[in-house]
């Protein structure tokens, strides 16, 4: 692999891997808690946050929009938990109510305010712009040691890497209570574990991963990675720590394979254009899940 | 109706509840309950379905928030004494497909020792295996929990409680849906706990075994319907009142008179 790979593909590949793994990690716990739809919910509720961020700042920039999206995600998480606890309803029900309402509020806000000059691109929101995150300052592998070239890395890469690091550290630190409270909430409470705070913390962690990934690679990957790698991993093993490792492996494999297939697959088939990398990564993760559902050693009836 | 007065004073009791009311929504599930658990004895909480037995236990542990009431454990607030209580939830309250192994579940009972990041050391493993041996499950340590029978699951839960090395054991329907071998294994363990001076409180639904298994009963049907030693409190009258006449008279006197 030559210089061209470093310039064109290294950054998107790494960003894709970081985004996939950062979403898959909390996805494991959300899946076991039957809250896997939260990824779907978050990708809907960020819309009003993005619109508000635009209305406040008056421009399209990454940080205010991410901040707005994060705030909207937090508001949604709080509302979902509140409805779940006060209304004593299923988490899925609470999510359904909140994410449709907030998405509708976002559309309403968009229509009612003067944002006609802004082009809120549906395709961008869904598929992100992974292929465009190229490293123009690089000249080859040696650029990895060149501070000036490194400064020109797409900002999505350090942002996503930092997010992955934060998510991993949080899950490592709270591993034991998280596992305990996921398995047996009542027992966890008698041990003095703050179950509600922990549950909220998990969802907030997922929201942070989702918003960061959403900005870099679009919502398709977010939704797919919260569910597909953990669900496939669950069927590979009966131990939680092994399940986490499998989910990381599946997420990484999806990101690499998806990116390569999107870039070269159509050419191999005689086509001329590449297809969306994000879409292909999500597709690969779905295919992995389907494959494991057929041959996985720990499928349950 | 003669009820023996509690022998353990409330300020010494392993679990003393005063004026406990819990409600889910409008309707109170348990109403104005007073309970004084006798130290070093085995107490059965009995009452019909929906009488608030499990809720009483959960409120005593602060798993559900009561509307009102005061709970003391060995004379002090629950928060300060929570480490002296071991809890065995209803077996059906958790998902047994959770990806973990038997030994891992028992190690959960050592959470207070291990904390957030403490390493699991050889003596922790040994302790957990000893607890499994006490319930006759030592050969199942590495088994995936989803492969266990109902009785085996219940024993694993009991082993986890044993690992907590508590003074007060609160069990929610420990005999529900278990085989006869498990039932006798569990009662043997509970009686050995009593022999060590520990206190056992169990939600119980089988009236025919109350007399054989327990020293005291606490009768509940949303309100307290009776409390005291078996001989005094577990009578045809109190049971009939608790179950609201839903049991046939002959059935009741047979159950409560005992051998």
Q: What is the ipTM of this complex?
A: 0.90
Tell me which residue in B63, B85, B117 faces A173 most closely, judged by beta carbons.
B117
Whether A190 sits inside 8 A of B63 (CB atoms) is yes
Radius of gyration of chain B (CA): 18
Whether B101 sits inside 8 A of A234 (CB atoms) is no
Q: What is the pLDDT of residue B5?
A: 46
Chain A residues in contact with B94 (beta carbon < 8 A): 183-184
How far is B72 from chain A, CA to nearest CA, in Å?
15
Q: Which of the residues B25, B58, B99 would you substitute to probe the A interface, choosing the one with the greatest number of A C-beta atoms within 10 Å?
A: B99
Q: Is B102 helix (H, G, I), strand (E, B) or coil?
A: helix
Report the pLDDT averaged over residues A232-245.
Answer: 95
Q: What is the pLDDT of residue B259?
A: 43
Q: Kindly state the tokens that stand for B251.
A: 């059935």
* Closest Cα in chain B to A180: B108
Chain A residues in contact with B117 (beta carbon < 8 A): 173, 176
Q: Which strands form B168-172's sheet, in the order they lie side by side?
A: B85-88, B168-172, B199-203, B42-46, B216-221, B223-229
Per-residue pLDDT for chain B (259 aa), expressed as one digit of tens each? Answer: 444 444 677 788 999 999 999 988 778 899 999 999 999 999 999 999 889 999 999 999 999 999 999 999 999 999 999 999 999 999 999 999 999 999 999 999 999 999 888 899 999 999 999 999 999 999 999 999 999 999 999 999 999 999 999 999 999 999 998 999 999 999 999 999 999 999 999 999 889 999 999 999 999 999 999 999 999 999 888 998 898 876 766 666 666 665 4
How far is B68 from chain A, CA to nearest CA, in Å?
18
Chain A residues in contact with B82 (beta carbon < 8 A): 190-192
Q: What is the pLDDT of residue A249?
A: 97
Q: Kindly state the tokens that stand for B122.
A: 């050889």
Report the pLDDT averaged over residues A82-99.
Answer: 84
Q: Kindly state the tokens that stand for B181.
A: 């071998």
Lowest pLDDT segment from A59-63, A135-139, A288-292: A59-63
* Closest Cα in chain A to B94: A184
Express as a percent the part of chain A with pLDDT over 90.
Answer: 39
How far is A256 from chain B, CA to nearest CA, in Å?
28
Radius of gyration of chain A (CA): 20
Report the pLDDT averaged over residues A164-187.
Answer: 96
Whether B111 sits inside 8 A of A177 (CB atoms) is yes
* Closest Cα in chain A to B143: A238
Task: Please state, in angstroms and rounded to a whole number, the distance separating the CA atoms of residues B160 and B143.
Answer: 15
A279 with A127: CB under 8 angstroms? yes
Q: Kindly state the tokens that stand for B130.
A: 């000893």
Tell me which residue in B24, B58, B97 faces A186 most closely, judged by beta carbons.
B58
Consecutive H or E run containing B16:
strand B16-23
Taking only the tens place, the pLDDT of each residue in A94-147 is 888 888 898 888 888 877 776 555 555 556 666 777 888 888 888 888 888 888
Q: Which of the residues A173, A183, A232 would you substitute to probe the B interface, choosing the one with the greatest number of B C-beta atoms within 10 Å?
A: A183
A236 with A296: CB under 8 angstroms? yes
* Closest Cα in chain A to B86: A190
Whether B94 sits inside 8 A of A184 (CB atoms) is yes
Task: Please state, in angstroms and rounded to a whole number, the distance separating the CA atoms of residues B191 and B199.
Answer: 10
Interface A-B: count of C-beta contacts within 8 A: 71
Residues of A with CB under 8 A from a CB of B: 32, 88, 173-174, 176-177, 179-180, 182-184, 186-187, 189-193, 234, 237-240, 242-243, 300
In degrees, rounded to 5, the angle at the alpha carbon of residue A189 between the alpha carbons of residues A240 and A204 is: 60
A2-218: CATH class: mainly alpha
Nearest Cα neighbor of A181 from A193, A172, A169, A197 is: A193
Taking only the tens place, the pLDDT of each residue in A7-56 is 888 999 999 999 999 999 999 999 999 888 877 888 788 778 878 887 88
Angle between helices A156-173 and A11-32 (to 10 degrees): 30
* Closest Cα in chain A to B108: A180
Task: Please state, in angstroms and rounded to a whole number, the distance separating the CA atoms of residues A191 and B86.
Answer: 9
Tell me which residue in A174, A182, A190 faces B87 most closely, judged by beta carbons.
A190
Nearest Cα neighbor of B216 from B31, B55, B13 is: B13
Nearest Cα neighbor of B61 from B198, B196, B201 is: B201
Q: What is the pLDDT of residue A51?
A: 80
Domain-wise residue ranges, chain A: 2-218
Whether B108 sits inside 8 A of A180 (CB atoms) is yes
Q: What is the pLDDT of residue A126?
A: 67
DSSP state, residue B107: H
Consecutive H or E run containing B228:
strand B223-229
How far is B18 from chain A, CA to nearest CA, in Å?
20
pTM value?
0.88
How far is A183 from chain B, CA to nearest CA, in Å?
6
Chain B residues in contact with A236 (beta carbon < 8 A): none
- DSSP per-residue codes, B30-46: EEEEEEEPPTT-EEEEE
């Amino acid at each position: 692999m030559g210089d061209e790979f470093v310039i064109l593909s290294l950054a998107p590949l790494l960003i894709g891997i970081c985004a996939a793994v950062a979403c898959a990690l909390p996805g494991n716990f959300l899946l076991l808690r039957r809250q896997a739809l939260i990824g779907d919910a978050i990708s809907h509720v960020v819309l009003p946050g993005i619109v508000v961020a635009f209305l406040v700042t008056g421009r399209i920039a990454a940080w205010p929009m991410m901040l707005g999206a994060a705030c909207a995600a937090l508001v949604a998480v709080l509302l979902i938990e509140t409805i779940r606890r006060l209304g004593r309803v299923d988490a899925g029900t609470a999510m359904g109510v909140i994410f449709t309402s907030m998405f509708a509020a976002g559309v309403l806000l968009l229509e009612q305010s003067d944002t006609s000059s802004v082009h809120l691109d549906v395709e961008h929101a869904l598929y992100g712009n992974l292929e465009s995150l190229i490293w123009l300052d690089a000249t080859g592998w040696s650029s990895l040691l060149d501070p000036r070239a490194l400064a020109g890395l797409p900002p999505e890469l350090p942002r996503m890497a930092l997010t992955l690091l934060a998510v991993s550290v949080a899950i490592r630190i709270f591993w034991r209570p998280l596992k305990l409270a996921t398995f047996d909430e009542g027992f966890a409470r008698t041990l003095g574990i703050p179950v509600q705070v922990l549950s909220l913390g998990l969802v907030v962690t997922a929201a942070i991963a989702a918003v960061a990934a959403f900005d870099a690679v679009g919502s398709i990957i977010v939704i797919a990675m919260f569910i597909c790698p953990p669900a496939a991993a669950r069927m590979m093993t009966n131990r939680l720590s092994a399940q986490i490792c499998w989910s990381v492996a599946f997420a990484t494999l999806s990101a690499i394979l998806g990116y390569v297939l999107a870039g070269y697959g159509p050419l191999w088939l005689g086509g001329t254009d590449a297809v969306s990398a994000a879409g292909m990564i999500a597709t690969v993760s779905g295919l992995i899940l389907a494959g494991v559902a057929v041959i996985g050693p720990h499928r349950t009836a | 109706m003669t009820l023996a007065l509690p022998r353990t004073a409330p300020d010494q009791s392993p679990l003393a509840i005063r004026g406990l009311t819990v409600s889910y929504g409008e309707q109170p599930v348990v109403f104005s309950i007073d309970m004084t658990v006798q130290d070093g004895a085995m107490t059965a909480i009995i009452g019909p379905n929906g009488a608030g037995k499990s809720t009483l236990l959960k409120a005593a542990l602060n798993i559900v928030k009561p509307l009102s009431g005061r709970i003391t454990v060995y004379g002090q607030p629950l928060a300060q004494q929570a480490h002296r209580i071991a809890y065995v939830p209803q077996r059906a309250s958790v998902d047994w497909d959770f990806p973990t192994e038997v030994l891992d579940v028992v190690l959960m009972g050592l959470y207070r020792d291990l904390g957030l990041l403490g390493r699991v050391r050889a003596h922790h493993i040994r302790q957990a295996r000893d607890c499994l041996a006490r319930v006759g499950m030592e050969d199942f340590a590495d088994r995936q929990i989803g492969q266990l029978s109902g009785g085996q699951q219940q024993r694993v839960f009991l082993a986890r409680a044993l690992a907590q090395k508590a003074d007060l054991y609160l069990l929610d329907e420990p005999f529900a849906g278990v085989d006869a071998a498990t039932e006798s294994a569990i009662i043997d363990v509970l009686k050995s706990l009593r022999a060590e001076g520990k206190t056992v409180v169990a939600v119980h639904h089988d009236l025919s075994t109350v007399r054989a298994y327990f020293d005291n009963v606490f009768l509940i049907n949303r309100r307290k319907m009776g409390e005291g030693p078996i001989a005094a409190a577990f009578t045809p009258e109190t049971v009939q009142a608790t179950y609201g006449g839903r049991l046939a008279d002959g059935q009741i006197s047979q159950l409560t008179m005992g051998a």
